[in-house]
Amino acid sequence: MLVLNENEKWHRHLGAYGICVYEEKLLVIQKGTGPYRGRYDLPGGTVEANESLTEAVKRECMEEAGINVYITKNIGVCDYLIPYELPKRGTSHIHHVAVFYLVQYLAGQLATNPEKFEGQDSLGALWVPMNDITPDNSSPLVVQAIEWLNTEQLLLEAQRLDDWVTL
C-alpha cells in the first residue's frame, strides 16, 4: 500500500515515452531540467491538450531527438513518486505517470543540439549501449525500459523513490 505523508503536496505529471533500440543501443536524451536533470531519459513527455498519447510520443521524439518514429507497440504504464519541489505550484513531490511505447526509427537526423523553446528539456539525443545504463546515470524510466527489453514485463506497483537526488 502506498503511504503518503500529509505534509507532501503532489503534482501529477502524465507523459508518453518512446523506447527505441538500434544495434544494442537505446535512444536517450540528456535531460536539462526537472527531477531527471543530468541523467539519461527517454524521448517523450507531456501530453498536450487535444493530443493523443501516440501523437505526443511522435511529437516529443521529433522535438527532443530530431527523429520521426513509427509506434509498434503500447507496452504499458508505470508510475513513480519522486521528491521534487515545484515552487510555482507549491508542490513537494511529483507523481509521474509514464506511458511506454516501443518505437522504430523512420527518418531524421539525431538532434545532438535540439531547438530551444520554452519547455524544451532535452540537451541532445544519443544512442547509448544498453550495458552502459545504470540507475546512477539514468531516469527510472530508462531503467524500466531496459528491464522491459530484457523481460517484457513492467512493474505493477508505483515506485516511491524517497532517496531520489536531482543532479
DSSP characters over 79-92: EEEEEEEETTTTEE
Enter the pTM of the model: 0.92
Neighbours of 39 (CB within 10 A): 23
**Rounded to 5, what percent of the chain is helix, strand, coil?**
15, 45, 40
pLDDT band of residue 97 (cuts 50, 70, 90) is very high
pLDDT, tens digit, 9 for 90 and up, residues 16-70: 999 999 999 999 999 988 899 999 999 999 999 999 999 999 999 999 999 999 9
pLDDT, tens digit, 9 for 90 and up, residues 128-148: 999 999 999 999 999 999 999
pLDDT, tens digit, 9 for 90 and up, residues 149-166: 999 999 999 999 999 998
Q: What are the angstrom distances between the C-alpha of 39 and each of 78, 106, 132, 151? A: 19, 25, 12, 23
Please tell me the distance from the alpha carbon of residue 96 to that of residue 108, in angstroms, as a whole number: 29
Yes or no: say if 103 and 69 are a contact pair by the CB < 8 Å rule.
yes
Residue 32, C-alpha cell as written in the block = 536539462
